[in-house]
A and B are shown apart, each in its own frame.
Chain A
C-alpha cells in the first residue's frame, strides 16, 4: 500500500459507517420530545404536534 495514511483513513471511514449503520444513525433529523404525558394514549387529540396545521398553508380563503 503506497498510502498507509489514506488506507488507515479509509479503514476508519468504513468502520465508522459500519458502526453508524449498526447504531441506526441517520443523516435526517426528527424532533425529539421528552416527557410526553401518558394521557396522550387515551386522548390523542390533546397532543399538539410540532408539525400540526399543515393544511392551512394550502387552504386559501
Chain B
C-alpha cells in the first residue's frame, strides 16, 4: 500500500492517500470532495453535515478478513425510510479492495464481481438467481438516499441522490447486492460476518462516557424523561408514562401513535439491565408483549431487545418460563421436505416446521430499531431442531429469519447476575431439549457394554463353574411288577461351598410317560428337598415332550446326601430304564437372563420417557397427532 501525497486544491492542506488506486478522496480540513484528474486533484463538491456517528467503524480502522489484513480508507453513507447504513471501502494489504457494510451493526464483506449473467434492469423481492451453483434470493429492494462520502473511493461518487439496491441472501450466509446506482447495474458478492471475526482495531471510541450512543430526552407529549440507549440505531422509543410511540430519529421525537393497554406490564427483566451474552455486555433496551389467538386460545409471550454498541441487537423471548436467545439470520433457509412435514435447511442444520401462526404486538416499552406499532400483526412460522428454533416473520414488505437457542431461566438469571431464582418453567416448549433424548442413546451404549460384560461373565461361569458330577446310576422300573416302587440311592457327598444341585433323569420312554417323586435328603440333618418331575415323550407324525428332564435344587449346603426316588407310570405300562445323574454348581441361565432384564430396565425407561416427552412436545404443534 503506497501513500502518495498531494495538497488540497481548496485549502492547501496536505492530502495523504492510504491507497494508491483511489480515484476520489476528501480533505480532512476543509471537507472538500476531491477527484484525481491525471496528476492533479480537483474539487468536485463539499461534504455536507452527516448524521451522528454511531458506527464503531471509522476511516483508519484496521481488521482481518480471511487471513488478509485490511484498512478502512473510505465511506459511503446511505439512508432509507427505516434507517441507514455505511459502505466502508476497505483496502487489503495486497492492494485489492472491497466493501465492509455496516447496517444496524450487522456486517457484510463484499467485492465487485463479474455477473454470471446479464443483470435484470429491475428485480422484485423473492426473485432467485443461481450463480456458481448457489441459490441467491432477493430479500430486500431498497431505494436509499445517498447521504455523503468520506475518504478514498475507487470511483467518483459524489453527486448521487436516490439509489436502488437489491440485497440477496443464500442459505449459507452468502450475500449479494445488485447496485443500480450506475447506468449498468453492478453485482457485489460476499458474505455476512460477525463483528468478532473481523478482529477490528482503531475503532471509534463509543464507550467514552457512553455519550456517543446514549441520549437523555423528554417526551414531547407528557414531558416524562426518556433515555435513548441506542441513539442512531433506534427508530422508535416508547414513553412509559403516556404510552406514546415516538420517532427516535426525529430530533423533536415526533409522536407517531399512542396505544392503550388494559394494565401496566412490568417486565421481569427491567429495561437497562445489563447481561453478558456471547462474551459481551448487552443492555436490555426494549420490551414487547405479543400474542396469538390460534384455535381461539390466546397465548402471549414476552420479547426483550438486547443491544451492544458493537455487536448490534439480540432478543430474549420467554413463554411460560421457557427462554430463547435469538439473533436475526443473515440468510434465507432452503425449504425442504422432512418426511411428510415441511422443513428448512440452514447452515448445515435441518429444521422441521412446528407451527404457523399470526402474532400481534399488544404492549411495548423502551426503544426499537424498527417502527414499532401496537396491533401490528405478523405471520410467524417456527421450525425446530432442538435446542434451536428457526423462525420467519413475514409482513407484506419483508420476511425476516431469526435463530433462537433454548435457555433455562437459570441461565438467563446467571447472564444478568440476578439474585434469586427465575419463575419456573411450565409445560414443554417447542425447542426445549428433552431431558432424556441424549441420555437414551448413550444409556443404550452403556447397556450394551454391561450386557457384553454379562455375556463374558456367563461364558466364564460355564467354562469354569464346578459342574462336579456327584452321582450317576441306572435303574429300571416296571409298574406291573407289583413291588414297592420307592427306594433310596446310595449316599453321595456334596462338597465345597453351598451351591445348586442339578438332578437329571434320562429315560428310554417312547410314547409313554413317567412321574418321579424325588427327595434329596441330608443324611445327617434330616433336611430334605422334595420335588417331582414328569417325563413324557410321544413321537409319531409329531413329536412332543422329551425322554429326559432335570431339576435344580438351589443352595444346597455341603454334606452327605441320598436321594429317595419313587417312580410312577400307568399301571399297564411296560418297564423303563432310567439314569439318575446328580451334579453340583451348575450355571443357571435363568439368573443371567434375570440380570439381563434388570440391566435393560433403565434404558427402556429412559427411552420411554424421552418418547413421552417428544409426544407431549408435538402435541402442541400444528401437527399434533400427525407425526
Interface residues of A (CB under 8 A from B): 1-3, 6-7, 9-10, 13-14, 16-18, 20-38, 40-41, 44-45, 47, 49-55, 58-59
Contacts and interface: CB of A to CB of B under 8 A. Distances in A.
A26 to B, nearest CB: 4
Given A22-B497, A30-B551, A44 B599 contact: no
Interface in B565-592: 565-566, 568-571, 584-585, 587-588, 590-592
B441 to A, nearest CB: 10
Contact of B594 (A6, A27, A38, A51): A27
B568 A55 contact: yes
Interface string B500-531: 11000000000001010111010100111111
Interface string B549-574: 00111111000001011101111000
A29 B555 CA distance: 10
A6 B443 contact: yes
Interface in B524-554: 526-532, 534, 551-554
A11 to B, nearest CB: 8
Contacts, number: 166
A14 B457 contact: yes
A33 B454 contact: no
A26 B588 contact: yes
B530 A31 contact: yes
20 contacts: A2-B442, A14-B450, A17-B591, A21-B465, A21-B588, A22-B497, A24-B554, A26-B554, A27-B590, A30-B529, A30-B553, A31-B529, A32-B530, A33-B527, A34-B528, A36-B519, A36-B527, A44-B484, A55-B568, A59-B571
Contacts of B585: 24
Contacts of B461: 18, 21
A2 B555 CA distance: 37
Contact of B570 (A18, A29, A47, A59): A59
A13 B565 CA distance: 38
B554 A17 contact: no
A25 B530 contact: no
B498 interface: yes
Contacts of B131: none
Q: Which 4 A-B pairs have the closest CB atoms?
A: A51-B532, A24-B500, A26-B554, A24-B499
Interface residues of B, number: 62
B595 interface: yes
Given A6-B443, A49-B517, 9 more contacts: A6-B446, A26-B553, A26-B555, A34-B528, A36-B526, A36-B527, A41-B488, A47-B486, A49-B566
Contacts of B465: 21
Nearest to A35: B526
A3 to B, nearest CB: 5
Nearest to B503: A30
A11 B560 CA distance: 36
B475 interface: no
Contacts of A52: 517, 532, 566, 568
